[in-house]
Structure 1
Amino acid sequence: MGVSLKDVAQRAGVSVKTVSNVVNDYPHIRPETRSRVQQAIEELGYRPNLTARHLRKGRTGIITLAVPELANPYFADLAGAVIDAAAQHDHTVLLDHTAGLREKEVLVSRGFRSHIIDGLILSPIQLENEDLLDRQEGPPLVLLGEREYTAPYDHVAIDNVEAARVAVRHLLDLGRRRIAFLGARHESARQPAHLRLRGWREEIRAAGGAPRESMVVATEGYDRRDGAAAISELLARGELPDALFCYNDLIALGAMRVLSEHGLRVPEDVAVVGFDDIEEGRYAAVSLTTVAPDKTAIARFAVDRLVERITAGKDAESWHSRRFVPSHRLVVRESTTGRGGGPPATGGPTQGRGDVVAGRAVPPAGT
């Protein structure tokens, strides 16, 4: 038999109600009483029955995180951060994989498994605005990612255009001028790839140059093999860049492998910048310079806002939706400056031109 509230109360010499108040962090308890109860809890090894607690409130204590690709290290890192943030609210996270397919994203967004979850955090790829506007029922929802929606849901997304400009500016400051972009997409212009491509164009123009569209390579996906195929295509066309800005770190790592196979040195011949700051990039043979989104802040805001809406229930229906823009930073490593050839990797947000130094919550347009 497990230890009960009654057992703790007897050990501490207080009422069961007092123990319950301590467990639920009720503020108006004398310090000496709280200390006595906490000591009894520790001695007896009492663990609250979270399932029963949630069920008494008409909830399950489970939220879902739905991402397009669990194998992608960025989403694996994000999932870990969401699980940690949810634990602070005594919630368990159920992971779902949509493969970036619209039909799966629609199914999840409209309440699939809604009988076992209290809320949903969704990172969509193909989901359209009308899919969300048609959503009549379903659990509370928070959106992640850079697709732009007018639907009334809280949304967490970094400023992709500015983040791309920071990356390209770094390359320009190093004297690179033939900067290629790997990882463009043919689909909706609201996808993050288009926003990063826009930042690439804007920063080159701001420096007085003209973006060379022949240096833009679209990819089928966002994996290492896509980066390898993209740089192979560029080289086969006779385009030799002196720098690469890649949609993500996986594309960058695949491209770096092919550059090495062609006898091109990184960064001496071609400097490379990625995006996402995955662990593999830190420990590559040539460590990867990258744009690092604040994944912890993304997860914390998404979970906190979702739990707020779960707790408020129907009262939350009148709340304004909010868009949270987390910080990002450029982490400078060997793929742009060489070993010992430049500034160390930054350990936190910096104050340099164009760096976003703090996340901010903003209301959507028109609210």
Structure 2
Amino acid sequence: MPAPRATTLRDVAEAAGVSIKTVSNVVNDHPHVRPEMRERVLAVIERLDYRPQAIGRQLRHGRTGMLALAVPQMDMPYFAELACNLVAAARSRGLTVLVEQTDGLAEREREVAAGFPVRIVDGLVFSPLNLPDAELAQRRDRTPVVLVGEHGRDTGIDRVSNDSVEIGRLATAHLLDCGRRRIGMIGTKLRSPHLVATDRHAGYRRALDDAGVPADPALLSPTDGWGREEGERSTDLLLEQAPDVDAVFAPNDVMALGALRSLRRHGRRVPDDVAVVGVDDIAEASYAAPTLSTVAIDRAFIAETALDLLIRRIGGDDSPPRTAIAPHRLVVRESTCG
């Protein structure tokens, strides 16, 4: 059975007994339409369930009311929850968000940075992982963009970031405050440069130095990914390299959940034998067994601030680029101090 034909502008005009131009003026909220005529046309629009082609109309006016969010992986809770925050913030402003997944691949990130084939979005919130800053800085697409995350420091583009060095220091200092001294860090990157891993490791080292605890290479366990499986494997390796480890700092909560699984398999009690702390405060952290201590990053702040910056740029703001740092805080649960 064929789908019913969509109501057209002509259908509305014929039913209301007016010209197509009059219906168009009502749809586009033209000021020079008599009130009684406007009410008549709107009544027919409602009765026929006419849905104007908003995108085409808005494109003619230079705006679509749509934004894009490009992130590496939607199956990573941090990015999924960030997307929820951004969508909610945009909806409160009458905007719609299209979500694009790049898989953290430089080629996909390059395509996003180059712009969409058709101007369907007014602006882009972008979290690149592997696209060099030099390429981001030279992007020719004129669509306003705001970066989120540690990358893009030297691009001359608005950015909302985290202080990952301080986050790493805070997490490690908490483990030291719990009396731990053989503190391992999982998730240090094995190959490609990764600013988040580099910065959080720098914070880890700073906390050890501040406490006068010597750094031991055996307490570092590298990996190429930051998922649950990588967290489990990285902890397996850490236990093999340093059997006397008494704490684990994971650079995100997902890896920390993998670490908890590894420790259970090896018969290590958390936190009695080994304390564990992560980063992000994803929803799952408060339901883990034991519940996971973590450094919470204010994703609502990231979403709201990125959106505010983007809307200003869309509106023509040509002030110098701005960088905002999201607040963070330590959340102590069962996995560290019981």
Cα displacement (A) at 1:144: 0.7
Is 1:294 paired with 2:290?
Answer: no
Q: 2:206 aligns with which of 197, 202, 205?
A: 202
Q: Which amino acid aligns with 2:150?
A: E
What is the percent sequence identity of the aligned residues? 43
Task: Compare CA radii of gyration and give the structure with the larger one.
Answer: 2
Is 1:222 paired with 2:226?
Answer: yes
Q: What are the equivalent positions in structure 2 for 1:313-328 lying under 5 Å apart?
A: 316=317, 318-328=318-328
**How big is the alpha-carbon RMSD for the aligned residues of Structure 1 and Structure 2?**
2.8
Q: What is the aligned partner in structure 2 of residue 243 from structure 1?
A: 247
Q: What are the equivalent positions in structure 2 for 1:148-167 lying under 5 Å apart?
A: 148-167=152-171
d(CA) in 2 for partners of 1:254, 1:114:
42
Residues 6-36 of structure 1, C-alpha deviations (whole Å, 9 max, x = no match): xxxxxxxxxx99xx79xxxxxxxxxxxxxxx
Q: What are the equivalent positions in structure 2 for 1:130-145 lying under 5 Å apart?
A: 130-145=134-149
Q: What is the aligned partner in structure 2 of residue 72 from structure 1?
A: 76
**Of 106-115 and 258-267, the range deviating more from structure 2:** 106-115
d(CA) in 1 for partners of 2:179, 2:167:
19
Residues 128-152 of structure 1, C-alpha deviations (whole Å, 9 max, x = no match): 0111122122411100111252111
Cα displacement (A) at 1:247: 1.0
Residues 190-224 of structure 1, C-alpha deviations (whole Å, 9 max, x = no match): 61110000000011000111111211111121111
Cα displacement (A) at 1:80: 0.3
Q: What is the aligned partner in structure 2 of residue 269 from structure 1?
A: 273
Query: Which secondary structure does the structure 1 equivalent of 2:186 belong to?
Result: strand
Is 1:281 paired with 2:271?
Answer: no
Q: Structure 2: any 5+ residue segments left out of the alignment?
A: 1-6, 13-24, 31-45
Residues 68-102 of structure 1, C-alpha deviations (whole Å, 9 max, x = no match): 00000111100000001111221110000000011
Query: Which secondary structure does the structure 2 equivalent of 1:125 belong to?
Result: coil
Q: What is the aligned partner in structure 1 of residue 119 from structure 2?
A: 115
Q: What is the aligned partner in structure 2 of residue 337 from structure 1?
A: 337
Q: Which amino acid aligns with 1:62?
A: M
Structure 1 contact 163–328 (Cα < 8 Å) conserved: yes
Q: Which amino acid aligns with 1:78?
A: L
Structure 1 contact 114–138 (Cα < 8 Å) conserved: no
Is 1:305 paired with 2:309?
Answer: yes
Structure 2 contact 136–152 (Cα < 8 Å) conserved: no
Structure 1 contact 176–243 (Cα < 8 Å) conserved: yes
Structure 1 contact 293–327 (Cα < 8 Å) conserved: yes
Q: What is the TM-score when the length of structure 1 is the normalising length?
A: 0.76
Q: Which amino acid aligns with 2:325?
A: V
Q: What is the TM-score when the length of structure 2 is the normalising length?
A: 0.82
Q: Which amino acid aligns with 1:332?
A: V
Q: What are the equivalent positions in structure 2 for 1:43-82 lying under 5 Å apart?
A: 51=55, 54-55=58-59, 57-82=61-86
Cα displacement (A) at 1:63: 0.8
Residues 290-327 of structure 1, C-alpha deviations (whole Å, 9 max, x = no match): 11100000000111111111122xxx3x3210000010
